[in-house]
Amino acid sequence: MTLKEHIRAVFTWLPRILRDEAHRVTWKELPPVTDEEIAAFDRNKVAGFDRVGYARPLGGWLYQFFYAILGAGVMAVLIPVLLGTLYPEPESKAYVTVAGVLFSIFQNAMNVPTAWAIERWIGDYRIKNPKKMLEFISFYIWYQMTSGLAVITTTSIYTILVVVNGNMAHLTWIILLLMTREYPAMLNVFLQTIKGLQKFDYESKCNFVNEIINKLFEFIFVLLGRYWIGSNPAIGNLLGTAIGFVIGTYLNQFGEAILAGWYLSRALRPMGLRLRDAVRPNFSWDTVKRSVLLGFQLSFPGLVATVVGFFVFFSWYDAVPAYATMLTLNSLADEIANISKRSEGINTKGAFAEALNNGKQKLGQYYIANTFKYYGFFTVGIACLVIGYMPTVISVMLVLGGAENYLLAIPFILPNILRTLIEQPEGEADKILTMAHKPVFKTVMGMIHLGLGYFMTFFYLVITRWPQTYGLAVMIWIIPCGNLIADLIRFIASWWYINKYICKIKIAWWQSFVAPLIPGALTLIEGMVWATWVFPELSRAIGSIPAVIISVTFAMVVGLIFNFVILYGAFGGWDDHTLGVFKEAVYISGPSRIFFIPVYKMTAALVKISKLHNRFPMDHEAAEREMIELMIQRQKNEQHVAKETSSPGTE
């Protein structure tokens, strides 16, 4: 065949593949649930995070709020001090970034067969077949451990034969230590499984303890690296700091895995399953084939991005000498700008997987409506909070902590907030395509997105040369927002596809995008008043550190919860059903109830006098029936597994 014929074949074959995938039913019909079973089902007997519905992921996010406030107050004091003491030069972490790029090609290539294995399969087979779910976990664990050895061997040979003789020779030890993370390479699987099971109370506790463990190990080993390893003149403080960071962040993963494994065993026990059944080799050839096929279908853009991105990164690195440092500054700004995405934000992966792969399209439609509702709600609230309160507070703490070099992260905050306007709904669409098992379309859009992204790199570095000419002034926008056109195209195309081929999108427009505006504006004004007049006076009266702690707490509790959330209800942000979902989420939010029960009660009282309450309701009746059907089907399968486990002759 000629080149022209090959191209024609591709353009003929690809639309056919996309069309077949679009119309393919991705679920097997479960035994039907009768009207009598639904009438007899007592939903109140299914408590907490076992109850299907949007209250589960929302309650999981609220559960973490207590830990977020506790952590924010502590980190507001600790992070600037840690940055000033451990990383006075941002370049030390930039070394780790560069070293990671050098071997990411091998790492991502070996991870292809298990890409998305946990996220895709757990929610689905938690309903259909809990034992099959365990097989996917087992395969993921053993594949990761085996492939990790291959990655370590391959990249070690490359490093010893190639890197040590090039201009990156100073990164040799960092690369070798980074590669060590590839064994056993499955330390995060237990926490990912907990997320797939939607046991968000367990996840919240793990995340909080992990944050402490992470900072503790990082602090100890960075100090050792900086002042012990770095005392060797051949290594120096910068490289010693980077080496200590790599060692500390590797060792802390073992503590995280032990804690998550303990919680996972508690989650599996009511299903008649044991953690040891997942850890030992316990999977069928069908499980291997399905994981590997889905992994290859989804991972092609990632592989291309890794290979081409390797060269793109160093193109930026050569053209803009401080590029790696700017990435570090942007990363800090992104963490500040995206507080609402703490632990992935409202994690609906498991919810979409269990609904869309079990034929519950109305439930999927309902989840999408809630996704947009809380996207608008949190985006407006968090953005106004961060813009109003945080720049002044952060700049003061960075100076006090001796981390003045990180003040340049502040200009990156606003561009990162703007980037989030597209990033979150684009990420949700990406998530739905994967959970609904539409990998080919997702991959095609990923390749188009990559191509446009590489064109934009060429546009910036070769055609306009803006980064080389204007430096930091333009880089604060290019790093977070430089790919915005490609993002918009993928965003529009993905949601069009979801609406046409997965489930119809019905958005509660008023609740999502109109009701948050006035409360958001008031939160912004309140924050600016606090930062301009209250914070300086408070600092002079009681000192800067206590003033920062009070300011962060005031912003989160008064500014966000008692101002924004409550006023949102007054402007028609709730109807009776969505307020009921919020109530259910509040009462399963663990320690965060101390904040949200008063908020719910004040909101419930306020909406009674609001003329906009119930004016713009969200459809939910059909979704409610499908929630009950899923719980009945899950209950039947769990009883079957428990019966098998307790039968004579079974382990």
Whether the CB-CB separation of 140 and 186 falls below 8 Å is answered with: yes
Of the two residues 290 and 182, the one the predictor is more confident about is: 290
Residue whose tokens read 């499980």: 287
What is the arithmetic mean of pLDDT over 491-500?
Answer: 96
Q: Which of 230, 247, 218, 219 is nearest to 170 (CA)?
A: 230
More confident residue, 648 or 420: 420
Q: Which residues contact 351 (CB under 8 A, 6 or more apart)?
A: 52, 54, 56, 57, 123, 198, 367
Instruction: Give the residue carrying structure tokens 């290859």.
Output: 296
**pLDDT at position 343:** 43
Contact (CB, 8 A) for 252 and 217: yes
CA distance 19 to 389: 49
Which range has the top average pLDDT, 73-82, 178-187, 394-403, 585-594?
A: 585-594
Average pLDDT of span 616-645? 87
> What is the rounded radius of gyration, in angstroms, for the C-alpha atoms of the chain?
25
From residue 564, give the alpha-carbon distance in Å to each of 61, 382, 427, 436. Answer: 17, 10, 25, 34
Residue 154 predicted with pLDDT over 90: no
Which pLDDT tens digit goes with each residue over 381-402?
Answer: 888 888 888 777 777 767 666 6
Supply the pLDDT for residue 516.
96
pLDDT score for 548: 84
- Helix H or strand E encompassing 624: helix 621-646
| Helix ranges (DSSP H) in 436-471 | 439-458, 466-470
pLDDT the model gives residue 432 = 95
Domain map (residue ranges) of the chain:
88-319
Give the model's pLDDT for residue 144.
87
CA distance 551 to 593: 22
Q: Which of 140-144, 327-331, 511-515 has the highest mean pLDDT?
A: 511-515
Distances (CA, A) of 478 to 305, 415, 465, 497: 18, 9, 12, 29
Distance CA 587, CA 9 (A): 57
Q: pLDDT at residue 647 above 60?
A: no
CB proximity list for 47: less than 8 A, separation 6 or greater: none
Provide the pLDDT confidence category of residue 369 given band limits of 50, 70 and 90: very high
Band (pLDDT 50/70/90 cuts) for residue 651 is very low
CB neighbours (10 Å) of residue 109? 17
**pLDDT at position 650, please?**
46
pLDDT category, 104, cuts 50, 70, 90?
Answer: low
Look at residues 445, 433, 450 and name the one whose alpha carbon lies nearest to residue 22. Answer: 433
pLDDT in tens, 504-560: 999 999 999 999 999 999 999 999 999 999 999 998 999 888 888 899 889 888 888
Cβ contact 35:620 at 8 Å: no
Give the chain's mean pLDDT.
Answer: 84
On the question of pLDDT at 3 being above 70, the answer is: no
- Listing DSSP states for 569-620 in one string gives HHTT---HHHHHHHHHHHHTSGGGHHHHHHHHHHHHHHHTT-TTTTSSPPP-
pLDDT score recorded for residue 1: 57
**What backbone torsions phi and psi does residue 147 show, to the nearest 5 degrees?**
-65, -30
Cα first-last separation, the chain = 58
Coil, helix or strand for 353? helix
**320: nearest Cα among 185, 449, 468, 458:** 468
Span 164-180, average pLDDT: 77
Q: Which amino acid is at 552?
A: V
Identity of the residue numbered 339:
I
* 11: its two tokens: 């353009």
What's the token pair of residue 512? 């999502």
Q: Which residue type occupies 419?
A: R
What's the pLDDT at 75?
Answer: 61
Q: Which tops the pLDDT comparison, 100 or 119?
A: 119
575 close to 617: Cβ distance less than 8 angstroms: yes
Query: In the predicted model, is pLDDT for residue 426 greater than 80?
Result: yes
Q: What is the mean pLDDT of residues 453-466?
A: 93
**Residue 430 and residue 442 in contact, taking contact as beta carbons nearer than 8 Å:** yes
Q: Is the pLDDT of residue 260 over 70?
A: yes
Q: Is residue 242 pLDDT above 70, yes or no?
A: yes
Q: Are 407 and 399 in contact (CB under 8 A)?
A: yes
Share above pLDDT 90 across residues of the chain, in percent, rounded to a whole number? 39
Residue 504: which residues within 8 A CB-CB, separation 6 or more? 365
Mean pLDDT of 208-229: 85
- The closest of 492, 198, 514, 555 to 353, measured between CA atoms, is 198
**pLDDT computed for residue 524 by the predictor:** 94
How confident is the model at residue 649, as a pLDDT? Answer: 47
Q: 259: pLDDT confidence band, cut at 50, 70 and 90?
A: very high
Mean pLDDT for 251-274 is 91
